[in-house]
Amino acid sequence: MTLRLLEAAAFAAWPAESAFDVRGWHLRLDHGYTKRANSANATDRSEPLSDLDIDAIEARFASRGLTPAFRLPDTIPASGAILAHDARLARRGYAACDRSLVMTRALAPGDIARDACASRDPDADPRLVPDPSAWLDAFGAVAGQGAADLAAHRDILRRVAQPCVGVVAGRAGQPLGCGWSVRVGPRVGLFDIATRVGHQRKGHARRCCQALMAWGARQGARTAFLQVLASNEPAIQLYRSLGFDIAYGYAYRVLPRPDARGTPG
């Protein structure tokens, strides 16, 4: 599986309000929720950017009150040019942050059978939630999401044009774990895997992931992928135990602005 196909699937599964290319860089602008939807992304077609090019991109971010951010995958063919660009951004005061990993695993017919919607605690079994708004209410409760992020998050989910579904684990009236999934062609992406504080390490995230992979397999997906912070060792261990391996990594260069809204990854 090529990086280009994985990147395209991830972009489609997490659509920004505005997206266009600048000299081979894929610029995505939204309302500040997640850097994935608010960054200039290097691709295998990216050309070196001059300071004037960077000035123009920064102006695009500033027009929306956003923090300028560049996302730099580490295994694209133009890696030499990207390294040079990374150094240029550093000289301009951009800070490196949020080193992340893209992990993948193949899906097999057995993943359909292992629906995971059965555990030793039936009251906490995960249930699929196809309505994005209903799922997001549960996610907000699990992740403690604020009103502004919740609104921007809701807009992103409403734009998804591909088959998608959420999953919620927990007892009635108390969601304990959540996840979201989007199928893009033969690939299914897992997003927003979260567990309520105080209820970690009880299997909620594992069962949510298994339920989403089973859904993806039923939808015809042959590969699952996800993104995770490289510093989140417990999550990486969980995903490895579920059969995921690291495909590649990426990091951001961000220029803090006192008048801009910061964005999670």
At 113 the pLDDT is 58
Looking at the structure, tell me whether residues 24 and 56 fall in a common domain: yes
Give long-range contacts, CB 8 A cutoff, 24+ apart: 53-61.
Answer: 53/22, 53/23, 54/88, 54/89, 54/92, 56/22, 57/22, 57/25, 57/27, 58/255, 60/27, 60/29, 61/29, 61/260
At 109 the pLDDT is 73
Task: Examine residue 235 and state whether it is found in any structural domain, yes or no.
Answer: no
Task: Examine residue 9 and state whether it is found in any structural domain, yes or no.
Answer: yes
Looking at the structure, tell me whether residues 208 and 117 fall in a common domain: yes
At 44 the pLDDT is 85
Sign of the CA dihedral running 31, 34, 35, 41? negative
Looking at the structure, tell me whether residues 139 and 195 fall in a common domain: yes
At 262 the pLDDT is 47
Which residue, chain included where needed, has tokens 């994935």? 36
The pLDDT mean for the chain works out to 89
Task: Examine residue 129 and state whether it is found in any structural domain, yes or no.
Answer: yes
Looking at the structure, tell me whether residues 24 and 123 fall in a common domain: no
**Structure pTM?**
0.90
Please compute the mean of the pLDDT values over residues 83-102 and round it to a whole number: 92
CATH of the domain at 206: 3.40.630.30
Q: Which domain holds residue 33?
A: 3-101+249-254
Task: Examine residue 243 and state whether it is found in any structural domain, yes or no.
Answer: no
Looking at the structure, tell me whether residues 88 and 162 fall in a common domain: no
pLDDT digits (tens, 9 = 90+) for 214-239: 999 999 999 999 999 999 999 999 99
At 47 the pLDDT is 87
Domain count, the chain: 2
Task: Examine residue 56 and state whether it is found in any structural domain, yes or no.
Answer: yes
